[in-house]
Amino acid sequence: MTPDELADRLENAADQLGDAISRRVVHTAEVGRGMIRANASGRPGPNVITGKYRASWEVVGRTIPYGAECIIGTNAPQGRRLEFGFWDMTDSIGRHFFQPPYPHVGPAIPRMEAVLHQQMIGAVSEVLS
């Protein structure tokens, strides 16, 4: 391979890299949402009562130059309370509450990180092959 051929190949790879990364970031976010939903399907995460909370998790992605960003989240009001719990809370009429945490997002993060790492290796391999 001549230096000019290598330069052309690398330029072509650079043109394709943003799309490859974007697809793989969105895929990782969808996998992450699935992990969170699975973790929110009973102990040690929260129990399923109606399934609405588990279904409330969404992936919102957008393309940025040479890649993408995704947000995995829920607008359900109980999300933060279920993940982190609360200790020694008293409401405005004097009722005392205690709820232990039922982590379901935190345990998924290391696995999502591993998936993203593999996806980025795949994106580079894809554009260089």
* Residue 16: band (very low, low, confident or very high) from pLDDT cuts 50, 70, 90: confident
109-124 confidence digits (pLDDT tens):
999 999 999 999 999 9
Amino acid 128: pLDDT:
85
Give residue 44's pLDDT: 85
Q: What is the pLDDT of residue 114?
A: 97
pLDDT tens for each residue of 53-101: 999 999 998 888 878 899 999 999 999 989 999 887 887 888 888 889 9
d(CA 59, CA 67): 16
Check pLDDT > 90 for residue 11.
no
pLDDT (0 to 100) of residue 75:
95
Cα distances (angstroms) measured from residue 21 to each of 7, 9, 18, 71, 114: 21, 18, 5, 15, 15
Tally Cβ neighbours within 10 Å of residue 58.
12
- The whole-chain average pLDDT of the chain stands at 90
Over the stretch 94-108, which tens digit does the pLDDT of each residue have? 888 888 999 999 999
High-pLDDT (> 90) share of the chain, %: 55
Q: What is the mean pLDDT of residues 40-60?
A: 92
Helix orientation angle between 3-39 and 109-128, rounded to the nearest 10 degrees = 160
